[in-house]
Amino acid sequence: MPKKSLQLTNKRKEEVIDACEKLYLTKGYQEITIKEISKEISMSRPSIYNYYETKEEIFLALLIREYQKWNADILQIITAHEKLSPDELAHALSHTLAPRMLLLKISAMNLYEIEEHSREERLKDYKVVFKESLDAFASCLKKFLPDLSNQQIEAIRYAFFPFMYGIYPYVYPTDKQKLAMDEAQVSYEQTTIEDITYNLLKQLIH
């Protein structure tokens, strides 16, 4: 594909992803359709289908973009610091996740359905960038906590990543959920993505 055509294709894909992101900030997942996305941009539904076969593939592209941003921030920790104490590392890693609300929301609320309705090659793209996250996280641990064995790093990594899927629902309960917890006398403490992530990491890596 000629360079200009590729640039235009990528630009149009980004416009679709941006529109999906904008809608997801104010609407529920089920409310968002390719028709709704097309209304946000100067692109018809048939044109969108040139790039993405389903709504789920658009969300998957948004998730991939979020992981790419997160991966870059994790790798920046490695390049920006020679040494970090365990507490400093826990703070640094939790800080990288704080802006990734969309990543956490999609992963917790919609990922299974998105994967089920995306083509295999699109799903592979997501798995590749997810693996890059696993590797970047492990590289941080290896650099700043050199006394950890490979088995310990593996254990920390596979405790942390499943934990990520529960962050969004815990940090952002709905009003209905909070009311039900009050009525059931379930204790609940308001927290943030960064704080809840730090509190786990300091336990895992100290």
- DSSP of 129-158, one letter per residue? HHHHHHHHHHHHHHHH-TTS-HHHHHHHHH
Whether 173 shows a pLDDT value over 90: the answer reads yes
Q: Give the pLDDT confidence of 57-94 residue by residue, as tens digits.
A: 999 999 999 999 999 999 999 999 999 999 999 999 99
- Region 101-127: mean pLDDT is 97
- Choose among 70, 62, 202: nearest CA to 133: 70
Q: Give the pLDDT confidence of 86-101 residue by residue, as tens digits.
A: 999 999 999 999 999 9
For 78-133, the DSSP string reads HHH-S---HHHHHHHHHHHHTT-HHHHHHHHHTHHHHHHTS-HHHHHHHHHHHHHH
Whether 4 shows a pLDDT value over 70: the answer reads no
| Percent over 70 (pLDDT), the chain | 98
| Relative orientation angle of helices 120-144 and 86-97, to the nearest 10 degrees | 160
Mean of pLDDT over the chain: 95
- Region 136-154: mean pLDDT is 97
- Region 168-192: mean pLDDT is 93
**Cα 194 from Cα 164, distance rounded (Å):** 11
- Region 114-136: mean pLDDT is 97
- Region 107-120: mean pLDDT is 96
Q: Give the pLDDT of residue 6.
A: 83
CATH for 1-51 is 1.10.10
CA angle 135, 140, 142 (to 5 degrees): 90
- What are the residue ranges spanned by the domains of the chain? 1-51, 55-205
Q: How confident is the model at residue 1 (pLDDT cuts 50, 70, 90)?
A: low
Identity (one letter) of the amino acid at 19?
A
Residue where the block lists tokens 């709905």: 174
In three-state secondary structure terms, 169 is: helix
Is 61:17 a contact under the CB 8 Å cutoff? yes
- pLDDT, greater one: 1 or 187: 187
- Fold observed for domain 55-205: Tetracycline Repressor; domain 2 (1.10.357)
Q: Give the pLDDT confidence of 5-22 residue by residue, as tens digits.
A: 888 889 999 999 999 999
Cβ neighbours for 152, distance < 8 A, ≥ 6 positions apart: none
Q: How confident is the model at residue 192 (pLDDT cuts 50, 70, 90)?
A: very high
Whether 151 shows a pLDDT value over 80: the answer reads yes
**Cα 42 from Cα 11, distance rounded (Å):** 13
Q: Give the pLDDT of residue 3.
A: 62
